[in-house]
């Protein structure tokens, strides 16, 4: 499902060239969950952005859901992100001018579908996360945990085969974080979605099938599992 080989990425910080990724290799199978851990500034988010076609590597191959990302044009990559990827960000990144339901169905609107055809599915998703009564509320009317649950619904709206989550609980209190993680794991299992999650929280990482450590620009397996935890 996800195949990464020899990916390198460097940033220029003034006169200094910072090599964030150095020949990273990664394979994540269909329905598998992988957590990428590492200290702050180790390049976890950069790797996730590369997997999500939001950033381009300086070298190496990235293939997600059968699509060679480095060979695709920007418009094709946008379509790929819309169809095949769901993003959950640390800071929910909901659109403040749109209601919870409108935020959830936004990927469908981008895909060119009408609001009417998406609403039933959007409401069902909100129902699954216990927010059916908050569909008409705007993000500023929701709590942090509720916002992140809406963001998860949005990521799953078009049932993408791959879900990428960047510190999904990083901005939440312990109770809300656990609730969001349960939700994410439950939805992922039911749908058989491939999930790559970036975190520096060992507890969060422990709930994933595989844990990989990114340090010094290199990715090393910290813990491998044969079977996903149920």
Partner 1 sequence: MGFVWHVALRYFRSTRADAHIRVLASLTAGGLAVGTAALVLALAALSGFQNHLLEDLVRHTPTLQVEPGGRSGSANGAAGSAAPPVGRVDLVDRVTATEGVAAVQELLYARGWLVDRTGALAVEVVGYEQAPPAWIPVGDAAAPGLILPLSVALRMGLTAGGSARVVSPRAGLTPVGPRPRMRTLPVAAIYDSERAEYEELPVLLPLEQADALFAGGDRRLDLTLAPGADPEEVAADLRSAIAPAEGTVTTWRQANRALLFVLRLEKGLVFSAVALIVAVAAFALLAALSLVLSSKRSEIGVLAAMGAPPVRLQRLFLALGALLSVGGAGFGGAAGAGAAAFLDRFRVISLPSDVYIVDYVPFLVRGRDVLVVFLSTVIFTGAASLLSARRASRLDPVEAMRSART
With binding defined as CB under 8 A, does residue 109 bind partner 1?
yes
Q: List the x/- string, 143-182, binding to partner 1 by CB under 8 A.
A: -----------x----------------------------
Whole-number Å distance between alpha carbons of 25 and 92: 29
Shortest approach of partner 1 to residue 228 CB, angstroms?
27
- Phi and psi at 141, nearest 5°, equal -90, 0
Instruction: Give the one residue of 81, 121, 147, 207 binding partner 1; rule: CB under 8 A.
Output: 81
- Phi and psi at 202, nearest 5°, equal -60, -30
Which has the closest alpha carbon to 217: 4, 1, 2, 9?
Answer: 9
Instruction: Give the one residue of 6, 23, 98, 128 binding partner 1; rule: CB under 8 A.
Output: 98
Burial code of 145-164, b = ≥16 C-beta within 10 A, e = fewer? Answer: bbbbbbbbbbbbbbebbbbb
- Phi and psi at 149, nearest 5°, equal -65, -40
With binding defined as CB under 8 A, does residue 52 bind partner 1?
yes
Shortest approach of partner 1 to residue 206 CB, angstroms?
26
Whole-number Å distance between alpha carbons of 203 and 206: 5
With binding defined as CB under 8 A, does residue 54 bind partner 1?
yes
Instruction: Give the one residue of 14, 16, 97, 140 binding partner 1; rule: CB under 8 A.
Output: 97
Instruction: Give the one residue of 59, 78, 124, 224 binding partner 1; rule: CB under 8 A.
Output: 78
């Amino acid at each position: 499902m996800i195949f990464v080989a020899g990916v390198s990425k460097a940033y220029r910080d003034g006169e200094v060239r910072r090599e964030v990724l150095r020949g990273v290799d990664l394979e994540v199978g269909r329905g598998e969950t992988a957590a990428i851990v590492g200290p702050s500034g180790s390049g976890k988010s950069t790797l996730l952005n590369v997997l999500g076609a939001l950033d381009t590597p300086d070298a190496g191959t990235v293939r997600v859901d059968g699509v060679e990302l480095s060979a695709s044009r920007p418009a094709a990559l946008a379509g790929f992100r819309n169809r095949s990827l769901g993003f959950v960000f640390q800071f929910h990144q909901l659109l403040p001018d749109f209601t919870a339901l409108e935020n959830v169905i936004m990927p469908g609107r981008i895909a060119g579908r009408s609001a009417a055809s998406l609403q039933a599915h959007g409401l069902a998703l909100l129902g699954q996360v216990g927010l059916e009564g908050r569909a008409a509320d705007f993000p500023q009317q929701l709590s942090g945990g509720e916002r992140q649950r809406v963001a998860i619904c949005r990521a799953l709206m078009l049932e993408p085969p791959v879900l990428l989550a960047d510190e999904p609980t990083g901005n939440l209190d312990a109770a809300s974080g656990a609730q969001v993680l349960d939700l994410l794991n439950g939805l992922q299992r039911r749908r058989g979605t491939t999930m790559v999650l970036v975190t520096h929280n060992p507890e969060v990482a422990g709930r994933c099938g595989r844990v990989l450590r990114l340090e010094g620009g290199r990715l090393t397996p910290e813990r491998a599992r044969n079977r996903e935890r149920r």
